[in-house]
Amino acid sequence: MSQRINLRDSQQGLEQQEVQGGELTLGDLLFMIKERWVIGLGVGLLLAALLLFYLLRQTPVYQGSSTLLFNLESNNIVDMEEVVDNDMATGKQLDIELNNHLEKLRSGTFRERVAAAMEADEVESFLKPYADKFEDSTAPDEEKVLLGLKNWSNFGRQRNTQILQISFEHRDPVVAADLANLFAKEYVRYNLDQTGAGASVAVETLKERAAELRVKLTESEKVYFDFRRKNNIVSDEEGAVSSGAKMAAISQKMTDAEVSLADYLVSLEQVGTAREIGQDPLELSFISDYGNISSLVAKRQELEAEKARLGQKYLERHPSMIENAQAFAGLQGVISRAVDTAIADMKSKSAEQVILIERLRDQLESAEGVALDQGGVSGEVNILREQVQTDRSTYEGVMNRLNEALVTSKIENTNIDVVDRASVPQGPIKPNGKMAGLASAGVFGLCFLGVPLALGLTDNKLKRVSEIESYLGVEIAGGIPLIPTKKIASKELAHAVYKDLDESVTESFRGIYSFVELTSQLDFPKTLLVSSTSPSEGKSFVSGSVAYFFGRHGKKTLIIDCDFRKPSQHRNFGISNDAGTLRWINGESSFQDPEKLVMSQDLGIREIPGSNVYLLAAGGSSKSPTEMISSDKFRSLIDALSTQFDLLLIDTPPVGLFPDALFLSEYADEILYVTKHGGLPRQQIRAGLSRFDKAPATVLGVIVNQMKSVKGAGYSYGDYGYGSYSSKYYRKYYDQDR
C-alpha cells in the first residue's frame, strides 16, 4: 500500500497539555452502578436497617398545639383618638409585629413566667417522664423545667395569616397539651400585664398632676372670692372691665403647655416602667413612630429572616453568617441610639414646656400689673378671674387625660385571642413509622446508587473508550473481550484466534488488523513492536493473535520473542526454548546469508502450521539483555530477518519495568501498546506510554485487553472496531437462511 490515511493526530508536547478524561454519559453512570451494585446494596441495607432501628426504638413523643390570632390595633393609652389604618395589618408592619411576638414567646423572661405559673404537681408530671435524661443532673427542678420549656417548645407563623402556632412536645400527651395551652394563656396575660402596667403609670402620673392642679385651682378661687367679698362685688359683670385679649391668649397658652407637659411626663414614666419590667421600649408607640425607627426595625427583621435562611445551609463561622451577624450588630446599635435619641428628645421637650410655662407665667404677671395700673379694683378682679379660668382649664385638660387613662385601664386592652386550644394528642409524632420508613428507604436508595457512583468517580483506572483516548492522547486500535476461563481454558487462550474458539475474540483481532492497515503509512516489509506497562496485561497473547491475521492476509510474519527476561511465546505455541535469539547471539556461528540464516539451527525459527506465521523463540533467558540488544550482531540479525519476512512482530518486556522495549524500539517502525481494561492507574499507563515519545517508531494505537461488555456505557469492546457484538449475534447471522 503506497499511501494510507493516518487517523492518529499528533500528540506533541503531551506532558504540557491538560488532558481531560472525556464527558461522562448516562451509560457511564449506569456501568458504575452495575459494576459495584453489590457494594451499594450491602451498605444501603446495613445503614437503612440501622436507621430504621434507631428511629423506631425512640421513646414516643407527643405534640400539643394551640394557636393565637393577632389583630394589629393601637395600644396608645394617652391618645385615645388616634385612628390606625387597617392596612397596618399587612406588609412589613405585619411582619415586624408578628416577629416581635415570636421573639417574646422564645424569650427567657417569658419562659420563666410560664415556669412560675406551673403548680407543684404539674412540675412533677413534667419531669417524671424524663428521669433518664436528668438522672445525672444535679441542677434544681426549676432549671430542668426551664431547659425543657426551651428545648421542647416551638413557635411559628402560619403562612400569609396573622396566626401564630404554639407547639409543645412531651413524652406525656396530657402534659404536651397542657403546656401548649399554658403558653397561650400566659402570653395573653403577659401582654395584658404589659398594657396594664403602661395604663397604671399613666393613671398614677395624671392623678398626681391633677391633685396638684386641684390644689392650685382651689387656692386661686379662694383668693378670687375673698377679693369680691372684701370689695362688695356681687357679680362678674360688675367688674367686668376687659383685661384685654393679651391676658386671655397667655392664659390659653399656659393651659396648653400644662397639658402637653402632662403628656410628656406620662410618656417618660412609661419608658421607665417598661425598662424596669423588661419590656422593649420599641413597643411604645411614641418610640416606634419616632424618626426612622420603624424603617430600622423593618431592616432588622429582614436581617433576622436572612439569618434563618442562611442557618439552614451554613454553620456559624461561614463568611455569610459572619457578615449577617456583623450587619445585625451594627444595626442593633443604630436602633439603640435612635431609641435613646427619642427618649432624650422627649425629656428635652418636657423641659421646654416647663420653661415655656414659667415664661408665660411671667408674661401673665406683667399683663396683670398693667391691668392693675389701668383699672384699679376692676382690673384686679379681672386678673383674679383670669387666673381662676386658667387654672380651671388646665385642671380640666389633665382630668380629661386621666379619665381616658382610667377607661383604658379598665378595658382588656389586648389584640390577642386564643383561636384553638390544644387537645390531648391521640398518637405520637415520634417515632413516626411512615417517616422512618421513608427516611430508611431514602438512605438505602442513596447508598445503593451513591456508593457505586462515588467509588466509580474516584476510581483512577481507565475504563471508558473516550476517556482512554483523550487521557492517553492515542487512538484505540481495538478492544478484546474478557474471556471466561470456563469458556476457554488458560492454556488454550493463545490459540483462541488460530482455532477460532470464540467468534467475538476473532472479530476483535480482525478489527485490530484493519485498524493497523488503515492507520499505518508504511509499506511492507516493516517491523511492528508490541509492549505494555506491566506484566499480565496480555501482551504476548495479543502479539501472537495479531500476527495470525497478517499471516492470513498473505504477509509472511515472524514473531520475535524479545522478552529475554521471562520468555513465554514458546510455551504459548508448545515448542522448546532451546534454540532462539540468545543461543544464536551467544554462539560462535558467524553471520550467514539471510536465506541460510533463517534455516539456522541455533535460531530455530519454526512455522506455526497453516498460518503463514513463524516464531523465533528467545532461546533461553537473561537478566541483563540490554547489552545484547544494543550489539551490532543483534542489529544485523534484525536487518537480515526483515529481508526474509514481510512483517517482524517484536514481543517486548513491560516498558514500565524494564528499558528493553525502548532499546528494541530502535529497530521498529510502528508500535502497538497493550493495556488491561481497568487494570492499572491511569497515571502509570500514561507514564509507560510516554517513554516512547522520543522513540523513532510511531505509536499506532492502544489495544485494550479483557474489556467487559456493557453496551452503551463506553466500556465495551463492542463500542469500538468490528468486534461489536457477542458471539450469539454472529451465530444468529450465520444461521440465517441465505
Residue 352 CB-density burial (10 A; 0-12 exposed, 13-18 middle, 19+ buried): middle
DSSP three-state, residue 587: coil
Residue in the structure block whose three cell numbers are 515472524: 558
Q: Which three cell numbers stand for residue 111?
A: 419562659
DSSP three-state, residue 608: strand
Q: How far apart are CA 349 and CA 359, in angstroms?
A: 15
pTM: 0.48
Report yes or no: 722 and 514 within 8 Å, Cβ to Cβ. yes
Q: Which three cell numbers stand for residue 702?
A: 492502544
- pLDDT given for residue 711 in this prediction: 47
Q: Which three cell numbers stand for residue 106?
A: 422564645
Count the neighbouring beta carbons within 10 Å of the beta carbon of residue 213: 21
Taking the C-alpha atoms of 450, 453, 454 and 460 in order, what is their torsion angle to the nearest 10 degrees?
170
Report yes or no: 227 and 364 within 8 Å, Cβ to Cβ. no
Q: How far apart are CA 519 and CA 617, in angstroms?
A: 29
Count the neighbouring beta carbons within 10 Å of the beta carbon of residue 287: 21
- pLDDT given for residue 465 in this prediction: 75
- pLDDT given for residue 407 in this prediction: 61
Cβ partners under 8 Å of residue 270, min gap 6: 198, 201, 202, 284
- pLDDT given for residue 614 in this prediction: 95
Q: Which is nearest to 164 in space by CA: 308, 74, 306, 65?
A: 65
- Is the Cα dihedral 270, 273, 277, 280 positive or negative? positive
Which amino acid would we find at residue 558? L
Q: DSSP class of residue 554?
A: T
Q: Which residues of the chain have pLDDT under 70?
A: 1-25, 27-28, 72-93, 194-203, 232-248, 367-383, 404-414, 485-486, 490, 589-592, 709-738
Q: DSSP class of residue 434?
A: H
The CA–CA distances, whole Å, from 32 to 52, 262, 310, 400, 482 equal: 27, 82, 35, 85, 17
DSSP 36-67: HHHHHHHHHHHHHHHHHHHHHTSPPBEEEEEE
Q: What are the start-end ranges of the H helices in 553-691?
A: 569-572, 581-586, 594-598, 626-629, 632-644, 660-664, 682-690
Q: DSSP class of residue 75?
A: -
Instruction: Tell me the domain boundaries of the chain.
Output: 26-58+431-438, 62-192, 197-416, 473-735
The CA–CA distances, whole Å, from 252 to 241, 394, 443, 452, 543 equal: 19, 9, 81, 90, 121
DSSP three-state, residue 430: strand
The CA–CA distances, whole Å, from 47 to 44, 51, 90, 431, 456 equal: 5, 6, 48, 18, 20
Q: Which is nearest to 545 in space by CA: 515, 510, 517, 571?
A: 510
For residue 416, the cross-strand partners are 70
Which amino acid would we find at residue 58? Q
Domain 473-735 carries which CATH code?
Answer: 3.40.50.300
Order of strands, sheet of 557-561, starting from the edge strand that comes earlier in the sequence: 476-481, 698-707, 670-676, 526-532, 647-651, 557-561, 613-616, 606-608
Q: Which three cell numbers stand for residue 126?
A: 413534667
Q: DSSP class of residue 342?
A: H
Residue in the structure block whose three cell numbers are 450491602: 42
Q: What are the start-end ranges of the H helices in 411-485?
A: 433-458, 465-472
Beta strands 606-608 and 613-616, pairing class: antiparallel
In degrees, to the nearest 5, what angle opens at C-alpha 409 toward C-alphas 408 and 414?
75
Letter string b/e over residues 306-333, b meaning 16 or more CB atoms within 10 A of that residue's CB:
beeebeeeeeeeeeebeebeebbeebee
